[in-house]
Structures are given as C-alpha cells and as structure tokens.
Structure 1
Amino acid sequence: MRRLMALFLMAVAISSPVLAQDGALKRLDSGVDAAAWEAVGRLDIGGTGFCTGTLIAPRLVLTAAHCLFDSSTRERIDHGEVTFLAGWRNGRAGAYRKIRRAVVHPDYVFDGQVSSERVRNDLALLELERPIQNTTIQPFGTTARPRAGDSVGVVSYARDRSEAPSLQEVCTVLAQQEGVLVTSCSVDFGSSGAPIFSIENGVAQIVSVVSAKAEVNGDAVSLGTALGAPLALLQAELVAGKGVFLEASPTSRRIIVGQTTNQTGAKFVRP
C-alpha cells in the first residue's frame, strides 16, 4: 500500500495546467468518426453488464481481468456468456463473436485490497470462437508503456454512453510505477478494459488497459494496467492450452466499491 500511496503523491504533484490541456470526450456516433476505432468493442456479459475490449489479433481481445468476475458472488463468470461486439454503435456491430477461451493473469485476486499489485495484474485475454477477418476492423498493436508527462488517449464505453464509444484523444500520464499507470483519462462504469493509446505519427498503439478510477484530493484519475510482461504471460497461457472455464475459489476477498482506504486516502471506484 505504501507504494500505491507514493504513486498517488506523484499524481497529485502534477500541476493543474497540465490537466487543463486534456481533450474533451467525443462520442463516436458516425461511421466516419468511428472508422479508425472499429476494433474497440463492447463486451456484453451475460446480459447483466458490460466492459470494453479491444481486438489485438484476429482472434484475440484484450480487456481487464475483473470483467470476468461476478461482483456479487465473487466467482469467475463463464466466458461462454460473454459476447464481443466489435465497433458497437447505436444498435449495430461490425462483428459479433462469442468467447472460446479466456485467461486472466494468474496473480490477479478479484476484490482483494486495492493495491498496485492488484491493478498491475488486472489483465485478461479472450480467444474468440472465430477470427474477425474484416478489412474495416483492424487489430491494434501494443507497445511499451509511456513515461510520466506523455500524452495518451482512450476509447471506451461507459454507463451513460453504452450505445456508442467515446474518444478522449488527449489525456496525460500523471505517473507510472510498479506496472501501474495513473492518467487523467476520463473513465466510468463500463470503461473497464478500455484501451489507453499512445498515438505517434498518426498510428495508435495500446500501452495500457483501464483497471479502475480513483479520486485524489477530489480530482478524478484513472488507473491502468501496463502491458509488456503481463500480456506476454497471458499469450503463453493460451499457447499452453489454458483458458477453459473453471469456477473461482469462493474464498476470494471482497472490497466494497467506493471504499476509502485508510492508508492512502484515495477513493477507489472500479469502473
């Protein structure tokens, strides 16, 4: 927890003028606006909720691990009940796919105490039943995590914008430590698993996945899971044949959404 506290102190140290440069959310309602982001889609979860996911290969979707857990029972959700809706916009998707296999980071603990360890392991990889081979839906590449002060962007669905994705083209990396990125990107419930992009020379690549949102001294920030080694581990798990649905242990710990931790003073609200 001390490491997480230090991370948040770094975030608070960023001056407010930097935050003021953040771009506003733009709803991608039209095909023209959404064309470059069709590989970002909504993950419908058993008809009870949704997250955001991104195609990183014709058959692979990247998202947050906690999207595959039931918040009431604290058990793994049967990924057979999850559907990826690529480019979902106003009642239509560019492609619909069910999930064949799903792996979560082996060190991830659902609803454990909020910490840098929990956030940095909040990653899952989904294998689709059939690949998406559509010239208008191009998978995104991934790249190394950015440094504090770098500009990034995020495309996500959320509770009040579930029918079309929104783009925040410019937000800021406030800090990065222990595999966790703190950014000024705007996220809310449903944004879990959303891709955080770096954009260089007009090319967008994923550098992180949204894990949670938090408040520090009344300012909203988002927490992202860095890629690199965690993603390579998940890819190796799939190659090894893992990802068949198994129920989680009922002894998993739980934290109440919105709980304020005594150690950091930061209010966490999992999107």
Structure 2
Amino acid sequence: MILIFSQYPHTANADEARIRIVDSDQPPWTAVGRLNMAGHDRLSMCTGVLVGPKTVITAAHCLFDGRSGYPHPVNDLRFVTGVRRDQNAGVAEVDCALFLPGFTYARKPSVRDTRWDIAAVILKHPLPVLPVPVIRTSALARVGGETRLRAAGYRRSRKFLPTLDGDCRLLWTRDGIWITSCATESGASGGPVFVEDDGIWKLAAIMSARLNRAGSIAVPRGIWSDLVRSDACPGP
C-alpha cells in the first residue's frame, strides 16, 4: 500500500467503524485473493481479484520491491484466492504481468501517478472459481457521490480473512481517478471496489493508495478496460 500525504480532512475512527471481517466461501469472495511475493528474507502480500479464469487485476506497485525498486521475479509470485484462515479456493503460479502504458514504479508517487497503477497478472493455469463480473461502461458513468461503494481486501491487520468497508463514497475525481472515503491499509492494495448494478456486486475500481487523513485512491475500470481482456502473455 502506498501512502500519499495530503492535507485533506479524514475521520479515521468513522472509517474503522465501517470495517467488518467477511468469513464466506461464496462469490464474490472466492475470486478475491492474496497475491503473495516471496523473497529470500521476507514474504509480502497485496490483494488481487480474479476477472477471468487466468486473469487477476491488482495494483501495479504491488509487483515491485519497495526497497530496491525492481520488479519481483515472476517465479516468486503466487495468487491464492478465497483465503479463509488456513483454507483457500485455489493457488496458481504467475506466468507474467501486464502493465498500462505510462506506468513507471515510484517509491513516492504523486496522486496523478496512481492513474496507471494497475496490472493484469496472468496465471499459469485457470482457477476453478467464478470470476468477479466487471461493471458495464454505462453503469460506471452513473457512479457519483451518492453511490454506495464497497471496498474489500486482505489488510495487514487481518491477513487471512478479507475485510470490507461496505458503505463508503466517491468524494471527487482527479485526472480520471477516484478519491474515495473507503478505508484501506497495507495489504489491501489491488483490492476490488464494488458497485451494485442490476442487483449484483460488480468490479468498478481497484484500490491503489491511502491518502493521509483523507480516505483513499481507487482507479476506475474505464482506465484499465484493456487489461480485463488479457488472458495470455505476449509471445516471444
């Protein structure tokens, strides 16, 4: 999770009061998982969400070592979906990662930099779970300040059960990204932000960063639509 400093007001206690633990093995939770990055001396993690049998959408910065600035070796990456304590709905190794044009890793990104902070992780084999449906363009255009957002992720404080801020809002947009009141923390980067459409929770945005005392940044689907259609790594 990236922390971007800001002077905007924030009510941390109100945020925490909305957070609840989700202990469910039903959709969409089977498609929300942990992207684990193993190194020789550590194990770090982010959240990712399955949008196709082999395609996981997450935050691009999660795929980089925050100390060295270099990408994590693909062989060190594992996606574990539907994590519930010592159980899960499936595990897969990673074949490759695809980034948006214009993305460059930065240890201290600006708010504008987060616009490109999305990646598609292509798995080596399909996982036997139902992918999360992605919101339609027409429905995304109707999201406003009164729309109820639901932000989920595996937070550092709750690594083995997903947590949900089930009632947050879009505060405003900037450079095409969403500034939201959704609570988040380290580990929840790459997690889904859901919007209800036709009575179904659909993926509308991906959590990117926490704003100091000002909520969070999420990147809406319109920016990364092409990545959803990716289901294979580029050829040689």
User: 1:44: which partner in 2?
Assistant: 36
**Is 1:80 aligned to residue 72 of structure 2?**
no
Q: Using CA pairs below 8 Å that are at least 6 residues apart, which structure has the higher relative contact order?
A: 2
Q: Which amino acid aligns with 1:169?
A: G
Cα deviation for residue 236 of structure 1 reads 6.8
| Amino-acid identity (%) | 26
CA deviation digits over 1:169-214, x for unaligned, max 9? 2111111222211111110000010000101343011111111001
1:148–1:176 contact (8 Å) kept in structure 2: no
Aligned equivalents of 2:36, 2:23: Cα separation in 1 = 19
Q: 1:120 to 1:35 in 2, by over 3 A?
A: same
Residue 154 of structure 1 corresponds to which residue in structure 2? 151
Q: Is the 8 A contact 1:196 1:209 kept in 2?
A: yes
Q: Aligned equivalents of 2:89 and 2:65: distance in 1? A: 27
Tell me the residue number matched to 2:211: 214
Highest Rg: 1 or 2?
A: 1
In structure 2, C-alpha distance between the alignment counterparts of 1:180 and 1:204, rounded to whole Å: 20
Q: Which amino acid aligns with 1:203?
A: I
What is the 5 A alignment of 1:165-204? 165-204=162-201
Change (3 A) 1:235 1:55: closer
Structure 1 residue identity aligned to 2:191: A
| TM-score normalised by L of structure 1 | 0.73
Aligned counterparts of 2:234 and 2:179: Cα–Cα separation in 1? 33
Q: Does 1:241 align with 2:217?
A: no
Q: Give the residue type in structure 1 aligned to 2:234.
A: G
Match in the other structure for 1:269: none
Write the mapping of 1:1-271 to structure 2, written as runs, cut at 5 A.
24-31=18-25, 35-46=27-38, 48-111=43-106, 113-133=108-128, 137-143=129-135, 144=137, 145=140, 146-215=143-212, 219-232=213-226, 234=227, 241=234
Tell me how far 1:22 sits from its aligned partner.
9.5
Cα distance in 1 for residues equivalent to 2:118 and 2:112: 12
Contact 2:15 2:182 in 1 (8 A): no
Report the secondary structure of 1:119's partner residue. Answer: helix
Query: In the alignment, is the contact (CA less than 8 A) between 2:46 and 2:62 conserved in 1?
Result: yes
What's the CA shift string for 1:27-58, capped at 9, x where partnerless? Answer: 12354xx5541100011111520000000011
Deviation beyond 4 Å, 4+ runs, structure 1: 19-23, 235-240
Structure 2: segments with no counterpart, 5+ residues: none
Q: 1:106 Cα deviation (Å)?
A: 2.7
Relative to 1, partners in 2 of residues 1:29 and 1:240: Cα closer, same or farther, differing over 3 Å?
Answer: closer
RMSD value over aligned CA atoms? 2.9
Q: CA deviation at 1:62?
A: 0.4
User: CA, structure 1 residues 57+237, in 2 after alignment: closer, same or farther (shift >3 Å)?
Assistant: closer
Secondary structure of 1:58's aligned partner: coil
